[in-house]
Amino acid sequence: MTGRIGSRIALALLGLTIFLALWQGIIWLRGYPAFILPPPAAVMARLWELVADGSLWFHAGATLQEVLAGLGLGALAATLLGYGLAHSPVAERLLAPYIVASQSVPVVAVAPLLVIWFGTGLLSKVLVSALIVFFPILVNTIVGVRSVGRNLRDLMRALEATRWQVVWLLELPAALPVLLGGLKVGATLAVIGAVVGEFVASDRGLGYLLKQGQQLYDTPLVFVGIGALVVMAQSLYGTVALLERGVVRWRET
Amino acid sequence: MPQDASDAARVGKDVHCHRRRESENGVSMAKPDRSLLRVERLEMGYRRPDRWLPVLDGVSFEVEGGEFVCLVGPSGCGKTTLLRLVAGLERPTSGRVLLDGVEVDRPSRSVGIVFQEPTLMGWRTVEANVALPLEVNRTPRGKALRRARALLELVGLSGFEETYPAQLSGGMAQRVALARALVHDPRVLLLDEPFGALDALTRERMALELLRIWRARRKTVVMVTHSVPEAVFLADRVLVLGPRPASVVAQVEVDLPRPRTAEVMGTVSFAAPARQIREALNRAASSP
């Protein structure tokens, strides 16, 4: 077991080394200036500066706050609505065209509107993030709740289970694997939503940092911002995946 | 009702069926008697886009407390619908089901059901699956688990308490379902072709197991099956349903001594009721 983890770490380090070598190699070969493609060392130096003066934590913290609030809000709204739609085919047929239509509007296009309506503060980013998270979780909730077999429903009825017991003992656990699948996708989308919101108007966050770096041709800063976003999205995804593995252990035979 | 009259005539001819004669003559005479379950002139149908599809056409029978009754009939004749009506999972178009003299108008804990598929919750361990009915009726956890384990021992699955259903064979899963159906001590056990999905060998073993469990618990059992030998082997009485729309075309008493073992299947007293059932099925199939 430890041997396997050890070899996996070794493999990851090898991959990273190759990646950095290629990066540095391209710069040596083609002689790009630092504002086009900064060398790894310059990016690391910039990262160190941002860590040292605390601004990386400040901006990453702001984005993380928007992401978590957006993911939570979007997931909650999508789960509740999805549950209702799963149980009411009429409502689903009524709402489905609008829900699908709302998805064909790019979130990037809606973001400025949300900033006009809800200001340049936290709320507009949370809403952009929630909006982008909403759809995949909605669909997965409907699929998950509908996947509950008729016999199990009949069984619960025959046991005179209450509405709440049906949700808690049957529908939630049955739908959980699919639900967590939606949440996993949602976790990475939430990061995109928050950054899009920050691009439109903000005074903090990793999206703000990226824009700053772009305007000042501080390319190392842009790289640090992208790196921080990747780490954030990966961690969120990994957290949900871990949760998933813990919850649906029973599927493994 | 002419249907009832012809039933009674056929039954009288086919079978030595004396003790339920009074009920065959009319339901109006219903009074407190030994019967635990009464099914009175059930009619049922489904609305299809173009027509009305009748499924049950005046099904009447009674089951005494502690009796093991099998329902046999051609496939698609409405056996499962009948069982769902008895369970209160569906409402009949007309007629009624009485359990202990009370009309069944909704699903109730008084029945335990085993479906054709095991219908277990994959995310629960075996013992948690068996304890589900007790969890729903809010039995304290410790007591629920004790009862669940006792039932698992009864169905021969001690040692599998912590296993997940995905790791069980079809026969084992169905035993779990049986334990779950018994755990809250229902008045009636309804089995809907519980061994239908099992291979022949497992099926035979499960029938023996079921008899052993029935003897231990003395439950009233109504079981749907399409296997005539299985019905004769298990039941005190076999009700034969005609093709859809179904009614009871014959009742066959099985006078085999209990406890029964697999050897009983070779005897004459086994062959006779089996032949009567087959004849009734054939007669019903050939008559329009």
Residue in B111, B135, B164 nearest the CB of A250 = B164
pLDDT at A252: 54
Q: How many CB atoms are closer than 10 A to CB A180?
A: 21
Looking at the structure, tell me whether residues A25 and A81 fall in a common domain: no
Structure confidence at residue B246 as a pLDDT band (50, 70, 90) = confident
Residue in B108, B111, B117 nearest the CB of A151 = B117
Residues of chain A positioned with their CB less than 8 A from the CB of B132: 159, 169
Residue A245 scores a pLDDT above 90 = no
Looking at the structure, tell me whether residues A177 and A73 fall in a common domain: yes
E strand residue ranges, chain A: none
pLDDT at A162: 94
- Which of A147, A150, A151, A249 has the highest number of chain B CBs within 10 A, making it the mutation to test binding with B? A151
Residues of chain A positioned with their CB less than 8 A from the CB of B133: 159
pLDDT at B60: 93
Looking at the structure, tell me whether residues A79 and A21 fall in a common domain: no
Looking at the structure, tell me whether residues A72 and A156 fall in a common domain: yes
- Which of B125, B132, B182, B222 has the highest number of chain A CBs within 10 A, making it the mutation to test binding with A? B132
Cα–Cα distance for residue pair B182/B213, rounded to 1 Å: 10
Residues of chain B positioned with their CB less than 8 A from the CB of A253: 164, 166-167
The pLDDT tens digits of the residues spanning A218-237 come to: 999 999 999 999 999 999 99
Looking at the structure, tell me whether residues A21 and A107 fall in a common domain: no
DSSP characters over A33-92: -TTTS--HHHHHHHHHHHHHTTHHHHHHHHHHHHHHHHHHHHHHHHHHHHHHHHH-HHHH
Q: Which of A148-162, A188-202, B13-27 has the lowest mean pLDDT?
A: B13-27
**Percentage of chain A with pLDDT > 90?**
78
**In chain B, what are the domain boundaries?**
2-110+186-286, 122-184
pLDDT at B29: 44
- On whether any CB of chain A is under 8 Å from the CB of B54, the answer is no
Mean pLDDT of B46-60: 90
- Which of B121, B126, B160, B180 has the highest number of chain A CBs within 10 A, making it the mutation to test binding with A? B121
User: Could you tell me how many CB contacts below 8 A there are between chain A and chain B?
Assistant: 62
Mean pLDDT of A116-130: 93
pLDDT at B30: 43
CB distance A157–B89 less than 8 Å?
yes
pLDDT at B265: 82
- On whether any CB of chain A is under 8 Å from the CB of B136, the answer is yes
Cα–Cα distance for residue pair B173/B179, rounded to 1 Å: 10
Looking at the structure, tell me whether residues A161 and A205 fall in a common domain: yes
- Residue A16: which domain range? 1-31
Pairing outcome for strands B35-47 and B52-64: antiparallel
Looking at the structure, tell me whether residues A100 and A159 fall in a common domain: yes
pLDDT at B27: 42
Looking at the structure, tell me whether residues A8 and A75 fall in a common domain: no
Calculate the average pLDDT of chain A.
91
pLDDT at A251: 67
The angle subtended at Cα A146 by Cα A140 and Cα A149, nearest 5°, is 135
ipTM of this complex prediction, to 2 decimal places: 0.82
User: What distances in angstroms separate CA B16 from CA A247, B6, B208, B251, one per listed residue?
Assistant: 58, 16, 26, 9
CB distance A158–B113 less than 8 Å?
yes
CATH code for the domain of A212? 1.10.3720.10
Contacts of A23 (CB under 8 A, 6+ apart): A37, A39, A40
- Fold assignment, B2-110+186-286: Rossmann fold (3.40.50)
- On whether any CB of chain A is under 8 Å from the CB of B133, the answer is yes
Residue A68 scores a pLDDT above 90 = yes
Residue in B119, B124, B164 nearest the CB of A149 = B119
Residues of chain A positioned with their CB less than 8 A from the CB of B174: none
Q: How many domains does chain A have?
A: 2
- On whether any CB of chain A is under 8 Å from the CB of B118, the answer is no
